Amino acid sequence: MSGLVRLHILHHAAQHPVYGQWMIDELARHGYRLSPGTLYPMLSKMERDGYLTSTTEREGRTSRKFYTITDKGHEGLAVARVRLKELKGEAGTQ
C-alpha cells in the first residue's frame, strides 16, 4: 500500500504544493489512515530520493513544509500511470 500512497503524493504534488497534514487528510478521503509518524518519514525519503522538493514557509509561530514534485517525480509518476493502465487491462477491469 505504501507504493499507492507515494503515487497519491506525487499526483497531488504535481497539481500544487502539498504539506503533511493536508496530505494526511486527503489520503484519509481515499481510505488511507496514516499517522504523521508514517507520512513525514515517507515525504522526507521521497525528497532525499529526488521525487519531491520542499520549501518551508513561516506564518507567525507556525512553519509549514510544502512539497512540490520534481522532474524525476514527474517521470516516475508517468511510468507508474502506464504500469497501472497495464495492470488494469490484465485484471480485466477496463
Rg of the chain on CA atoms, in Å: 14
pLDDT at residue 11, as a whole number:
94
Beta bridge pairs of residue 19: 66
Residues 82-92 pLDDT 10s: 888 887 777 77
pLDDT, residue 22, reads 95
- Say what the pLDDT of residue 93 is: 59
CB atoms within 10 A of CB 76: 19
User: pLDDT tier at 94 (50, 70, 90 boundaries)?
Assistant: low
Nearest CA-CA partner of 6 in 56, 73, 63: 73
Q: What's the pLDDT score for residue 86?
A: 81
Q: pTM of the predicted model, to two decimals?
A: 0.85
Residues 6+ apart with CB under 8 A from 49: 72
pLDDT in tens, 26-72: 999 989 999 999 999 999 999 999 999 999 999 888 899 999 999 99
